[in-house]
Amino acid sequence: MSATDLATSDSPSGARLRRWQQITGVSLFVGYAGYYLGRSCLAIATPLMIDERHPILTKEQIGLIASVGVLTYAIGKVVNGLIVDYVGGRQVFLLGMLLTVACTAAFGAADAFPVFVVIWGANRFFQSMGW
């Protein structure tokens, strides 16, 4: 019996398979939404960071932070793709989510340009684990 046949059957095994399919689908949706929230924090924080009354960073510095993020995200896709082949997608997805949350919190607590660059680069690298 194929997985499709099993999922559409009324057997206890079919019901269990459908339940796990639903759990997996919801988990992936919620997890990926979480990755997007971590990805959007720079765009949300930028207006406050370049505010003329109390500037923390310049527009050029924000641009450099974003550029480093794109670079580390691209590198992370290659590196993490190889890691997933050995470790498994579920573990890498969850680890990436936890590390993204940690980096997002650290980014909010940072107060120096070099620290922002390093944390945002790490954040984007870990976000690529959800790819």
Confidence (pTM): 0.80
Query: Within 13 Å and on the Cβ side, how many CA atoms surround 81?
Result: 7
Burial 83-102 (b: 16+ CB within 10 A, else e): bbeeeeeeebbeebbebbbe
- CA gap 125, 35 in Å, rounded: 11
What tokens does 72 get? 């580390």
Q: Tens of pLDDT along the chain (131 residues)? A: 565 655 566 677 878 888 988 998 898 888 888 888 888 888 888 998 888 787 889 999 999 999 999 999 999 999 999 999 999 888 899 999 999 999 999 998 998 999 999 999 999 999 999 87
Contacts of 19 (CB under 8 A, 6+ apart): none
3-state secondary structure the chain: CCHHHHHHCCCHHHHHHHHHHHHHHHHHHHHHHHHHHHHHHHHHHHHHHCCCCCCCCCHHHHHHHHHHHHHHHHHHHHHHHHHHHHHCHHHHHHHHHHHHHHHHHHHHHCCCHHHHHHHHHHHHHHHHHHC
Task: Give the pLDDT confidence score for residue 79 in this predicted structure.
Answer: 95
